[in-house]
Amino acid sequence: MFLRQRETLSFDRSVPGKRGMDLPKLDVPAARDTRPAHLKRGGFAALPELSEVEVIRHFTRLSKWNYGLEDGMYPLGSCTMKHNPRVNEKVAALAGFTDSHPMAPDALVQGNLELIYTLQEWLKEITGLPGVTLQPSAGANGEMTGIMLIRAYHLAKGSHRRVILIPDSGHGTNPASAAMAGFEVVELPSRPDGTISFEDVTDPVNGRVRKGLQTLVSELGTEIAGAMITNPNTTGVFEFRFKEISDLLHSVGALVYMDGANMNALVGVARPGDFGVDVMHLNLHKSFSTPHGGGGPGAGPVCCIQAMIPFLPVPVVVRATEKVGEGEVARHSYHWDWNQPQSIGKVHTFYGNFGVLVRALAYCFSHGSDGLREATLRAIVNANYVRARLKHAFALHIESPSLHEVVFSDSNQARHGVHTLDIAKRLIDHGYHPPTIYFPLIVPGALMIEPTESEGKDELDAYCDALLEIAREVEENPDALHQAPTQAPLRRMDETTAARKPVLRWAKA
Amino acid sequence: MRYLPSSPSEDQALLATIGVARAEDLLAGIPEGLRLHRALDLPTQCSEQEVTWDFMDLAQRNQRFCAQFLGAGAYDHFVPAAVDALVGRQEWLTAYTPYQPEISQGTLQHIFEYQTQVCDLTGLEVSNASLYDGGTACVEAALMAVRVAKKRKTLLVSRGIHPFYRQILATSFAPHEDLKVVEVALRDGVTDPADLQAKLNGDVAAVLLGYPNFLGCVEDLTALATPIHAAGALVVSVTQEALAFGWLEAPGKVGADFACGEAMSLGNRPSFGGPYLGFIAVKDAFKRELPGRIVGQTKDLDGRTGYVLTLTAREQHIRRDKATSNICSNQGLVALRANIFLQLAGPEGMKGLAEQNAAKAQYLRQRLLELPDMEAVPEQPFFNEFVLRYKGDMAALQAACLEESLLPGLDLGRFYPEYAGCILWCATELHSRRMIESLVETLARVPATV
């Protein structure tokens, strides 16, 4: 609850002599000063001097200016803001995990290694792909890892391919990751239904012809290393020709990368490995419920086909099974294998965001095979319920059947001079977090709603009621919407000045 | 399933509104042949109690120690209780990236404060909302250096940089065939000035130097920066133990143009290597080349001070393949732990803790050198890590330590053949005199080499 309208920067409240941390008594001789004089630490310009009470109050008050998932529905499309179970936090905080050192000998961290091995087994079965690395720290890190695997795969065949195809509906991280991995990006156009176009597409505005998949594959052929495809795509629609797409790409030796950001629509229902995907990443902070933490940490495991396993980052976890007599329970031991001569190397300093992996496995154990499928179906039902309730007030730019998320356009409201941003800001006045806005880029004024399976009928109804009321307000009093939000601690922010004259840190006045 | 708010009557109401009989009917968009027509071959759902037991069992299969004398990029420090208590608040834990500033001021102001403190620690002018970890921060700094240096295509990397950081650099630079990564040798534990001079030329964009380096040695940044700047290249300092900033002068004040590294030491635990906290800071001139999210201060319509994500024209969601980096997620919650930690510590706490770390490490070194099998290697100034040569049997030492629930330092031979038989030791404020003595007593009992 926003009880205070201001919480100043802690630097402005610093008072010399205050302490928030007492040090233990030093039980060894004081340090000799061995530093060269010029390398001796001078003063600090910003670190504040505050008591523990003040620091705790500062961060508690600041926290109240954040909308969190436990405040209510948070339907950011493509972000899968599902419930973050508290038991996952509890088990991830067990000292046996948090105190364990990444350089400790394998024999001393058998619990961690078994956990990593087990999570890999779950992800293999869920994706239908036999290779996994848990090393990537986030989705984008996973994308880059996957693209490097594609590069390594082709290089091992002696083939230097330079192009990655990416649909115009894809996340911005896709082209950025492909570029960081040294590839040239060629854009694939979408059809009016949001799916990838095989045929060339003529832009209705400028008459420019954009080459479709068929043309690009026949023209670029073996120049194509692979394609990065989000499925279901960013409009929440399954690429229904996926098998044909992958067959076509495979016919020129190219590989298919799947951006798994929308895996919440598929777990237990369809497996990428079964429909032609060669390599993909999962976002454990989306589909597997680990908290977003205001921006991270996440985890972006990569799964791949058999032929790409030799290129996975090092080290890889290996399970050895001790021979036992009949009727006895098999005993397993685990170790890291660093000897992978064809590996791309490393993408994380150690083994990935281990604490996030613990939470994701707890999510898996809680749900089980039955719960995972139930959650997927429920997420799809919820998105379609929102679609059914709102489709008369907000324009469905794309009519194809929605899976776990639904994308509306602001075209009905734009006629009254009200745009997506205004609608989003008014939702804040209704006590809700807005959906993802202005993405995907192929939908004008997009409002992308992903309720996830965590919402019940009451919460969905309240959210839809708020949006319907906003739609009525657009017709009755459109100007008022430009003022929104009026109920938040702050009104709209001057982002232009922020970028033109950046103030990026505090400095003493 | 306890996480699904679902009742038969409500489910029916949802489906009726949608106009389908069963949830499965909504899968029509997925071609029949591409669907999974069986249950996943995995165990079925579990209660919270069963899940808790399973994980307690796994956690117990990790060996616990009375003391870990191992650092090497992952440091055991005391974490104040306030850190855990505050980050457990759902407003911090569950929020997304702050896309809607009006209801995300908590996260935004926290990042602004975090950025300010990273600038303070490093003596540089601009930082960002954090990067994945020390190794990936190193990659981002290196890629940024070749971006700003335009025509220069070589990166010099000191052999004193963490071996895993160097491995990630090699992986990330491999696809860029026009770029070259060249190693600069060590001499007596620090970057060899002669080798550096020999490798500096007009093609060198930047030089990466450990501060302190992987062997715990303090590199003289000032001295090394002179020839590097004379050759027109940038100095990038890489710090894997951020607590060293309480002991050593800020890198930006002694010659570094960029500073990057690992700040897990500030309020975090070893956690088997992650999630950790990559940091980066640069001189103001380079701010529009930084990777990742950056928070800036601004005003709202009523003139009230607030914070927003800014300089977004650098980022992937706007620039796509022309972005400064592909990074989207940061390490928000880990950065929050560091922010809280730094505000609790303050300038006196940072300096005091750093002095304790230096004192403990010096005492540990002095006591270890009393053992006949321990031998000094050429000594450089160090912070909380140092190298000693061990003439005894490494396996016997390991075994003796484990028997006493002590985790010894790192056997360096695996990473540095030239340091075979050497151990990288670490001590922090967590190591009491008693623990150090217990280690020395244990090592004294290791049977002599035959």
Secondary structure class of B260 (helix, strand, coil): strand
Secondary structure class of A206 (helix, strand, coil): coil
Q: Where residue A1 falls among pLDDT bands split at 50, 70, 90?
A: low
C-beta separation of A257 from A150 below 8 A: yes
Q: Where residue A351 falls among pLDDT bands split at 50, 70, 90?
A: very high
Residue B42 and residue A270: Cβ atoms within 8 Å? Answer: no
Respond yes or no on whether the N-terminal peptide bond of residue A232 is cis (omega within 30° of 0).
yes
C-beta separation of B361 from B386 below 8 A: yes
Report how far residue A280's alpha carbon sits from residue B301's, in angstroms, rounded to the nearest whole number: 44
What confidence tens digit (pLDDT) does each residue in B99-148 have? 999 999 999 999 999 999 999 999 999 999 999 999 999 999 999 999 99
Residue A504 and residue B294: Cβ atoms within 8 Å? Answer: yes
User: Residue B374 pairs with which residues in a beta bridge?
Assistant: B390
Strands A279-282 and A255-260: parallel
**pTM of structure:** 0.97
What confidence tens digit (pLDDT) does each residue in B289-344 have? 999 999 999 999 999 999 999 999 888 888 888 888 888 889 999 999 999 999 99
Q: Where residue A328 falls among pLDDT bands split at 50, 70, 90?
A: confident
C-beta separation of A443 from A235 below 8 A: yes
CA B335, B337, B340, B345 torsion-angle sign: negative
Respond yes or no on whether the N-terminal peptide bond of residue A435 is cis (omega within 30° of 0).
no
Please tell me if residue B40 touches chain A, with a CB cutoff of 8 Å: yes
Respond yes or no on whether the N-terminal peptide bond of residue A502 is cis (omega within 30° of 0).
no
What confidence tens digit (pLDDT) does each residue in B251-285 have? 999 999 999 999 999 999 999 999 999 999 999 99
pLDDT over 70 (residue A375): yes
The H or E element containing residue A255 is strand A255-260
Please tell me if residue A497 touches chain B, with a CB cutoff of 8 Å: yes
Mutation choice for A interface testing from B328, B339, B340, B428 by most A CBs within 10 A: B328
What confidence tens digit (pLDDT) does each residue in A111-138 have? 999 999 999 999 999 999 999 999 999 9
Strands A209-210 and A131-133: unpaired
Residue A379's alpha-carbon distances to A68, B203, B341, B393, in angstroms, are 20, 54, 39, 59
Mutation choice for A interface testing from B293, B324, B343 by most A CBs within 10 A: B343
pLDDT over 80 (residue A84): yes
- Which residue in B392, B305, B319 sits closest to A509, CA to CA? B305
pLDDT over 80 (residue A200): yes
The H or E element containing residue B295 is strand B295-299
What chain A residue is nearest to B34 in terms of C-alpha separation?
A275
C-beta separation of A308 from A133 below 8 A: no
Report how far residue B98's alpha carbon sits from residue B306's, in angstroms, rounded to the nearest whole number: 13
Which residue in A39, A50, A347 is closest to B220 by CB distance? Answer: A39
The H or E element containing residue B91 is helix B90-93
Q: Chain B window 270-309: which residues touch A at a Cβ cutoff of 8 Å? A: 270-276, 287, 293-302, 304, 306, 308
Which residue in B14, B29, B352 is closest to A457 by CB distance? Answer: B14
- Which residue in A129, A91, A488, A501 sits closest to B60, CA to CA? A91
What confidence tens digit (pLDDT) does each residue in A262-302 have? 999 999 999 999 999 999 999 999 999 999 999 999 999 99
Report how far residue A451's alpha carbon sits from residue B78's, in angstroms, rounded to the nearest whole number: 40
For the beta carbon of residue A496, count every other beta carbon within 10 angstroms.
Answer: 10
User: What value does the mean pLDDT take over residues B143-161?
Assistant: 96
Respond yes or no on whether the N-terminal peptide bond of residue B347 is cis (omega within 30° of 0).
no
Q: Which pair of tokens denotes residue B150?
A: 């335009």
pLDDT over 80 (residue A502): yes
Residues of A in contact with B327 (CB under 8 A): 138, 140-141
Residue B106 and residue A63: Cβ atoms within 8 Å? Answer: yes
User: What value does the mean pLDDT take over residues B57-81?
Assistant: 97
Report how far residue A386's alpha carbon sits from residue B118's, in angstroms, rounded to the nearest whole number: 44
- Count the residues in chain B: 450
Q: Chain B window 139-178: which residues touch A at a Cβ cutoff of 8 Å? A: 143, 162, 164-165, 167-168, 170-172, 174-177
User: Residue A131 pairs with which residues in a beta bridge?
Assistant: A304
Q: Residue A53: what are its φ and ψ, rounded to 5°?
A: -55, -45
C-beta separation of B170 from A314 below 8 A: no
Lowest mean pLDDT among A392-401, B40-49, B217-226: A392-401
Q: Residue A276: what are its φ and ψ, rounded to 5°?
A: 105, 5
Q: Chain A window 205-224: which residues touch B at a Cβ cutoff of 8 Å? A: none
Name the minimum distance, in Å, from the CA of A296 to any CA of chain B. 4
Residue A28's alpha-carbon distances to A83, A161, A241, B356, B431, in angstroms, are 48, 61, 70, 9, 10
ipTM score over 0.85, yes or no: yes
